[in-house]
Amino acid sequence: MSQVFSEETHRNMLARIPHCTGREVSDWLRAVDEGPSLFRFEEKVSWLRAEHDLAYGHAKAIIHEYDLRRAARNLL
């Protein structure tokens, strides 16, 4: 079962990603956008972990942020 992070925890996780991974969040979001067309959240997380050797929490935060931004774009 996946963990559910609070909004504050999600923001803190995003803030730490550049330090922990050496890449900006925007770079990770672009990598997800250019990656394979996966539909399920956990499939995207698993792909990101396998392809880029990320920790589960970091991959989950990146995919969650990707989905939030995609949903916001669709509302405009």
pLDDT at 1 over 50: no
What gap in Å lies between CA 2 and CA 76, rounded to an integer? 30
**pLDDT over 70 percentage in the chain:** 93
Q: How far is CA 19 from the centre of its chain?
A: 15
Please tell me what DSSP assigns to residue 19.
Answer: H
pLDDT per residue over 11-58, tens digit each?
A: 999 999 999 999 999 999 999 999 999 999 999 999 999 999 999 999
pTM, whole model, 2 decimals?
Answer: 0.89
CA triplet 29, 10, 2: central angle to 5 degrees? 90
